[in-house]
């Protein structure tokens, strides 16, 4: 009889322990993304492509390190707002483990292909330091994307070597205008080779054309700039 009582007590203890563990797990639900409290900077660029594109880059401040999965969320509407302003929220997932207690910066971007014609600007929402608004009339108006060309040369007739040289120039130009984390789309525009002669010439050149996102703001004017030694060599070749 005593053994039976001991077995029943042990079973009750196990059940009680299991209930306590379940309540602990239930009290600690998965973390949800939070709206970033302070919006620091908002940059926009509108491209008059077909369809139109809108690039938005936002930075904000969070109270500590360890925030992840930063997103810039575009609000969906059942009908366009009367003021023509598209709302955004900058959100981030708070740390689930102890993190350094230092104010940190978070960033996110949004690329909107096929932006509707009713959009006249954007509004990015924070919490404490609220809202930052950018109107298209306050920035460069719907500039068409600038296409730039980059030439690579191989003196051994190697297509891969020439293409690699052209892409190296493109990668260097991505940082023009002080832009960081830019991307670009490119395609080969032309391939030209030159062979023969007493010296056994075997030169191959590849020219690529590229669009940067965000677009290049400036484009060097050949009439007003002094060509570099590299550019002089390319012309002579």
pLDDT digits (tens, 9 = 90+) for 64-104: 888 888 889 999 999 999 999 999 999 988 888 887 888 88
Question: Is 235 inside any structural domain?
Answer: no
Task: Report which secondary-structure segment, H or E, holds 108.
Answer: strand 104-113
Q: What angle do CA 177, 235, 167 make, to 5 degrees?
A: 45
Predicted pLDDT at 130: 67
Assess whether 46 and 88 both reside in one domain.
Answer: yes
Task: Examine the domain organization and report whether 155 and 133 are in the same domain.
Answer: no
Please indicate, yes or no, whether residues 130 and 169 belong to a single structural domain of this protein: no
Q: What is the pLDDT of residues 6-59, one digit of tens each?
A: 565 555 566 665 665 555 554 455 678 888 888 888 988 888 777 888 999 999
Residue 131 lies in a domain: yes
Indicate yes or no: pTM above 0.75.
Answer: no
Percent pLDDT > 70 in the chain is: 74
Domain extent, residue 194, equals 147-224
Assign residue 81 the CATH number of its domain: 2.60.40
Residue 158 has pLDDT above 90, yes or no: yes
Whole-number mean pLDDT of the chain? Answer: 80
Helix (H) or strand (E) holding 26: helix 2-26
Per-residue confidence band for 222, with pLDDT thresholds at 50, 70 and 90: very low
Least confident of 88-97, 113-122, 226-235: 226-235
Same-domain check for residues 107 and 50: yes
117, 63: one domain? yes
Both 109 and 163 in one domain: the answer is: no
Asked if residue 14 is part of any domain, the answer here is no
Residues in the chain: 237
Task: Indicate whether 134 belongs to any domain.
Answer: yes
Would 166 be classed as within a structural domain?
A: yes
Which of 110, 138, 166 is the endpoint of a domain? 138
Residue 197 has φ and ψ, to the nearest 5°, of: 85, 170
- Same domain (yes/no): 193, 118: no
Same domain, 132 and 159: no
Residues 133 and 161 in one domain: no
Structural domains in the chain (count):
2
Percent of the chain with pLDDT over 90: 35
């Amino acid at each position: 009889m005593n053994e039976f009582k001991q077995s029943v007590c042990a079973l009750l203890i196990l059940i009680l322990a299991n209930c306590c563990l379940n309540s602990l797990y239930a009290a600690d639900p998965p973390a949800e993304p939070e709206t970033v409290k302070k919006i620091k900077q908002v940059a926009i660029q509108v491209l008059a492509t077909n369809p139109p594109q809108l690039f938005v880059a936002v930075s904000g401040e969070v109270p500590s390190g360890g925030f992840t999965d930063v997103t810039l969320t575009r609000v969906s509407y059942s009908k366009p707002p009367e003021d023509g302003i598209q709302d955004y929220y900058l959100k981030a997932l708070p740390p689930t483990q102890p993190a350094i207690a230092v104010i940190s910066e978070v960033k996110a971007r949004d690329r909107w292909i096929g932006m509707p014609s009713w959009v006249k600007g954007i509004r990015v929402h924070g919490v404490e330091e609220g809202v930052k608004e950018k109107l298209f009339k306050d920035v460069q108006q719907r500039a068409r994307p600038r296409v730039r060309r980059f030439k690579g040369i191989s003196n051994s007739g190697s297509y891969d070597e020439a293409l690699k040289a052209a892409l190296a120039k493109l990668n260097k130009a991505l940082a023009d205008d002080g832009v960081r984390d830019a991307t670009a789309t490119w395609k080969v525009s032309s391939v030209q080779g030159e062979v023969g002669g007493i010296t056994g010439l075997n030169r191959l050149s590849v020219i690529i054309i590229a669009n940067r996102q965000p677009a290049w703001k400036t484009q060097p004017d050949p009439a007003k700039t002094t060509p570099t030694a590299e550019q002089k060599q390319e012309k002579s070749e």
